[in-house]
Amino acid sequence: MSLDMRQLEGKLCVVTGAARSVGFDIAKRYAENGAVVVMLDINPQVADAAQELCRSGGHAEGCLLDVTDGQAVARRFQTIIQEHGPVYALVNAAGIMEISPFEETTDEIWKRVWEINVMGTVHCIRGAIGSMRKQCRGKIINFASKAGKTGSKLMSVYGASKGAVITLTQALAQEYARYRLNINCLCPDIIDDSGVWAQANKMYSENLHMSPEEVKELYESKVPLGRFATKEDITDMVCFYTVSGEDCTGQSINITGGRFMH
């Protein structure tokens, strides 16, 4: 089966966390295939990121937005929909990771991670889903994590937030199935060359007194397939759920090289 990406021509795809890393690569792939891409991020670099895609012939727009600000998100989606029509695909890639011992994880940390990973996703879905419902057409792809399916030490807050994204995905998949919306999430393990892994690698190498290369080798050796996921692996899966996978909804897909299988 080859994915018919050209069906994205002229369709509105919104990607959060698109200033860099995984979100940027997804926006790029959408733009390369003719979608109208709106890139949202709290990082002002999002404007340059969108410009880069426009220079390569894509139709992309970068907007500065904090996904934790429910009112700002609602206003932004109103504007986007007024200008470009209903949202066809929404990818919620904005997220942060926190590694900290449970007893040192303050309420402030819990609230910050929850606000971005869970409420940020909720706000953006709320902004887009009405337009999808009216069309009886739409794809939502959320970013959970392997850490949302199985507990990992020092990751109580991150894991709990990603677990919430999985059940949010399932609940909305049930609720909106009658409108034929496909709502799924991805559960990657470590993604090579990504922002989250750069942060984790730095922390592990400081704590374990190992070089970043040694840390990478150590963690890769835990993966049955012996390699981390690439950003391309993730983007491929997002594309599958965007232009295919018509019978899939409420799924939380492991992209873990076999490290987690349930």
Ligand X SMILES: NC(=O)c1ccc[n+]([C@@H]2O[C@H](COP(=O)([O-])OP(=O)(O)OC[C@H]3O[C@@H](n4cnc5c(N)ncnc54)[C@H](O)[C@@H]3O)[C@@H](O)[C@H]2O)c1
Side-by-side strand order, sheet with 59-64 = 59-64, 36-41, 12-16, 87-92, 139-143, 182-188, 252-255
Residue from 228, 196, 240, 246 nearest 91 by CA? 240
> With 0-12 CB in 10 A as exposed, 13-18 as middle and 19+ as buried, what is 262?
exposed
**Residue 60 makes contact with ligand X by CB under 6 A:** no
Instruction: Give the one residue of 8, 60, 67, 140 binding ligand X; rule: CB under 6 A.
Output: 67
Q: How far is the CB of 28 from ligand X (least distance, A)?
A: 13
**Residue 22 makes contact with ligand X by CB under 6 A:** yes
Q: Pull the structure tokens for residue 98.
A: 């926190």
Q: How far is the CB of 239 from ligand X (least distance, A)?
A: 16
Contact 169, 185 (CB under 8 A): yes
How many residues belong to the chain? Answer: 262
Which span (7-15, 63-71, 166-174, 239-247) binds ligand X, by CB under 6 A?
Answer: 63-71
Number of chain residues interacting with ligand X (CB under 6 A): 30
**Residue 140 makes contact with ligand X by CB under 6 A:** no
**Residue 119 makes contact with ligand X by CB under 6 A:** no
**Residue 184 makes contact with ligand X by CB under 6 A:** no
- Contacting residues toward ligand X, per CB under 6 A: 16-17, 19-23, 41-43, 65-68, 93-97, 116, 120, 143, 145, 188, 190-191, 194-197
